A = this chain, B = another copy of it.
Amino acid sequence: MQKFVFTFGNGLAEGEGAMKELLGGKGTGLAEMNRLGIPVPPGFTITTEVCTYYYAHERKYPPELEAQLRAAVGHVENVVGGAKFGDPADPLLVSVRSGARVSMPGMMDTVLNLGLNDATVEGLAKKSGSARFAYDSYRRFVQMYGDVVLGLKPETKNEADPFETLLERKKEARGVHLDTELDERALKELVAEFKAEIKKRRGLDFPDDPWDQLHGAIGAVFNSWENPRAVTYRRMYNIPAEWGTAVTVQAMVFGNQGDDCATGVAFTRDPSTGERRFFGEFLINAQGEDVVAGIRTPQPINIAGKRNPEDRSLEEALPAAYRDLVRTYEKLESHYRDMQDIEFTIQKGKLWMLQTRNGKRTAKAMVRIAVEMVKEGVLTADEAVLRADANKLDELLHPMLDPKAEKRVIARGLPASPGAAVGKVVFHADDAEELAQKGERVVLVRVETSPEDIHGMTASQGILTARGGMTSHAAVVARGMGKCCVAGTSSINVDYAKQIMSVNLDGKVIVVKRGDVISLDGAKGEVILGAVPMSAPALDEDYQQLMRWVDERRRLRVRTNADTPTDAQTARNYGAEGIGLCRTEHMFFAEDKILAVRQMILADSVDERRRALDKILPMQQKDFVGIFRAMDGLPVTIRLLDPPLHEFLPTEESQIAVVAQELGVKPDVVKARVAALHESNPMLGHRGCRLAITNPEIYETQVRAILQAAVEVKRAGTDVRPEIMLPLIGHERELQIMRELVVTAADAVLAETGEKIAYTVGTMIELPRACMVADRLAEQADFFSFGTNDLTQTTLGVSRDDAARFLGDYVKRGIYPVDPFVAIDQDGLGQLIRLGVERGRATKPELKIGICGEHGGEPSSVGFCHDLGLDYVSCSPFRVPIARLAAAQAALREKGQAR
């Protein structure tokens, strides 16, 4: 028979620490503490398999469960000795908690004091010698159960909690201020009033039978696994729905039985800074939820933590219990070899542990704890590297809003690019630029951004959009710039005409006008009214130490996607080992070039086009000079012009008029040309090397600019290593023609100048066809760079600009576990990439291969690239350290498997 219930208690446990998948974090923690001889109230855990079964069988339980449940309750009764579940004379009370593999807000959390009814409450009163304690526990139970199991919650967002309302009324009626001042009679009345309110509002009788109570609570935990908040959380953190949750049922211990009782939470190190100090809060004579409820002020756990002289620490109040707690936390940290987040209750001077788990921490704390634990000899450097959360590192690298500041969040969007921004709202790129030039800090708000907004984005502190996903134009460009961005904030309404944005917040419309200040939290996707203070990133010595270990361990090189000398320098500071993708089109958008670019596009003949290109040449050359200098000694991969030409043309009437005047043609000529360049599916249109098949002079000019820049910096003493990359190659003959074009143009410059510069010519692999014929492409290529953004679009047939409308449903329904534009779709796209790598290397075993899509900075994708044997990944400057860490982790995992 399958075992669905695992008991623990009395220093014994059927489960153990390695069974997290089955017992959840809470269940394994309790089992493991039992095995360590730490005092834990006895109990049992119902496995995650029951949850899985429950959802696979229309919310029914496996038939074997009930018998195992009854046996487990019997086990608890035996360990406790005396008290029986539902016994009116001496009732056993239990807590019921959820516990998934990873801690997950949004699920049903806890029901305490379960087992009480009008009969057993009297037994508890007699047994404990305190009727007030018994009725306080009963009141708490009915309130919690009514809330989380029976679903009595405020009906509108403006309504207060119905239980709290009754409680407040009662205190008012009795003329008291604190819950603790209510006597047993008042509490007894409250229990009846609570039950009546539940009956009235939910039409439910409060269950009197403790077994009904227990079944109800277990069901509530399982049901909460699929509630919208839990689903959303899972989606955000890539937690598969199949994991399910476990349920832990445990004998109650009471922190609310008098002044020799207490309850608290603590961290074995400071979760904010990582400092090695025991850190926590507690309340005398209280039960679990009181510490966080904020009605009474929790006290510091030890003398070191006191903020005011009048604070009374646990160390002072209950010194013996505190000493037990210190011994226990030290045992737990050294057992788990990680900072622990613990919950405890002291009942009549005796310490009981209710939970231990690895504590959540800031990125800064994560790094400091890891480094210090290595120095303490607790961890090896390998372990420290493996344990670091690569995604979390991101926090360290961007300025952030002060986490302690007061915030009025008016909308939530996608956390598209981390960091923070505070500034005046503007709705137009030109306004952003204008205000920024006057020294103002601005936040650019758009329905969505387009390449025409680049200058405005550059000028802004952050970007807020109403439409578009994690890989929308705004998101991608912002991340590239290392600039904060909240995207796809569907609750905001942008009205360009009126120059306002509005949000309907709980029925009230908030209007934000041009010039009003807002703050953005790019890591959380929050839009906040007013200015929130900022805190700057500090890359301390702990960080540097961790990254040294990282670099010693990784095989994969990490380059950056950078289009400007500034980006290049930033990335280099973050450890980039070259540029993997320098997009030349962003240079074309620059104010000083766009006119010549438009002339080039509007040219009627090759000659006219060449004249326009002759103007662009020296400007491009200057761009490259700056980048080459910043990357002295490192390779720089420059991708020739990629996007469709119409992206460079203006679309608004007013802009068209300006361009027409500048060019000395009629607006209709510009308009006609813009219309002629319109494409149904520009992603699959006339772009990339296709532009150079029809108009070779564009690439010829770019290559000339690259080589002339290389010669210029070389003569000034820079070690320059240009790699010229061709976009959107699908056919070996296409690559052959392009390679000839590049080599001819490049060698002409070298012949003219008499310099020798070792440049290479390679290809993007961003079309499925390119993967299929990679063996033939390799004959013409010095290197491959997988453009996983476009390759995802073509392989999956999904336009990332349009995906917002359906990709959410795909992730929600578990079709794709994660947005395939965020993490490489290894099952599908991964096979195609693997095939491309294998075929390319079959022709040229030493072929240099990298990736340069957005995925290059995403840890699971970096791991995949390592496993494929790629030479490098390239990512935005601010993700370089993340990629370095992920690469080291992949190398260590490989080493681990090899052993």
Binding site for B on A (CB under 8 A): 679-686, 690, 693-694, 728, 730-731, 733-734, 737, 766-769, 772-773, 790, 793-799, 801-802, 805-806, 809-810, 813-816, 825, 827-829, 831-832
In Å, the complex CA distance between A801 and B827 comes to 31
Whether A693 contacts B797 by the Cβ 8 Å rule is: no
Whether A802 contacts B686 by the Cβ 8 Å rule is: yes
Contacts A767-B795, A797-B767 known; A686 to B829 CB distance under 8 Å? no
In Å, the complex CA distance between A693 and B803 comes to 13
Q: Which of B767, B793, B827 contacts A796 (CB 8 A)?
A: B767
Shortest CB distance A159–B (Å): 26
In Å, the complex CA distance between A570 and B684 comes to 35
Whether B828 contacts A681 by the Cβ 8 Å rule is: no
**Known contacts A686-B805, A768-B797, then 17 further A-B pairs from the complex at CB < 8 Å, ordered by chain A residue:** A679-B801, A680-B799, A681-B682, A681-B801, A682-B802, A683-B799, A684-B684, A684-B799, A684-B802, A693-B810, A730-B796, A730-B828, A731-B816, A737-B813, A767-B795, A768-B795, A794-B794
A693 contacts which chain B residues (CB < 8 A)?
Answer: 806, 809-810, 813, 815
Whether B683 contacts A680 by the Cβ 8 Å rule is: yes
A685 contacts which chain B residues (CB < 8 A)?
Answer: 799, 802, 805
Whether B684 contacts A797 by the Cβ 8 Å rule is: yes
In Å, the complex CA distance between A734 and B828 comes to 13
A731 contacts which chain B residues (CB < 8 A)?
Answer: 815-816, 828
Whether B772 contacts A690 by the Cβ 8 Å rule is: no
Nearest CB to that of A685 among chain B residues? B802
Shortest CB distance A768–B (Å): 4
In Å, the complex CA distance between A790 and B798 comes to 12
A680 contacts which chain B residues (CB < 8 A)?
Answer: 682-683, 799, 801-802
Whether B795 contacts A828 by the Cβ 8 Å rule is: no
Shortest CB distance A493–B (Å): 12
Shortest CB distance A496–B (Å): 14
A sample of 14 inter-chain contacts (CB < 8 A) reads: A681-B793, A681-B801, A682-B799, A685-B805, A686-B806, A690-B806, A690-B810, A728-B797, A730-B796, A767-B797, A772-B828, A772-B831, A773-B827, A794-B794
Shortest CB distance A801–B (Å): 4
Whether A684 contacts B795 by the Cβ 8 Å rule is: no
Whether A684 contacts B686 by the Cβ 8 Å rule is: no
A795 contacts which chain B residues (CB < 8 A)?
Answer: 767-769, 772, 794
A796 contacts which chain B residues (CB < 8 A)?
Answer: 730, 767, 769
A737 contacts which chain B residues (CB < 8 A)?
Answer: 813, 815
In Å, the complex CA distance between A799 and B679 comes to 9
A684 contacts which chain B residues (CB < 8 A)?
Answer: 681, 683-684, 793-794, 797-799, 802
Shortest CB distance A648–B (Å): 16
A681 contacts which chain B residues (CB < 8 A)?
Answer: 681-684, 793, 799, 801-802
Nearest CB to that of A730 among chain B residues? B796
Nearest CB to that of A768 among chain B residues? B768
Of all A-B residue pairs in the complex, the 7 with the closest CB atoms, nearest first, are A684-B799, A681-B799, A768-B768, A685-B802, A680-B801, A769-B828, A767-B797
Nearest CB to that of A793 among chain B residues? B684
Nearest CB to that of A815 among chain B residues? B733
In Å, the complex CA distance between A813 and B798 comes to 30
In Å, the complex CA distance between A684 and B795 comes to 10
In Å, the complex CA distance between A814 and B793 comes to 27
Q: Which of B733, B767, B815, B829 contacts A734 (CB 8 A)?
A: B815
Shortest CB distance A312–B (Å): 57
Whether B802 contacts A679 by the Cβ 8 Å rule is: yes
A728 contacts which chain B residues (CB < 8 A)?
Answer: 797
In Å, the complex CA distance between A795 and B802 comes to 19
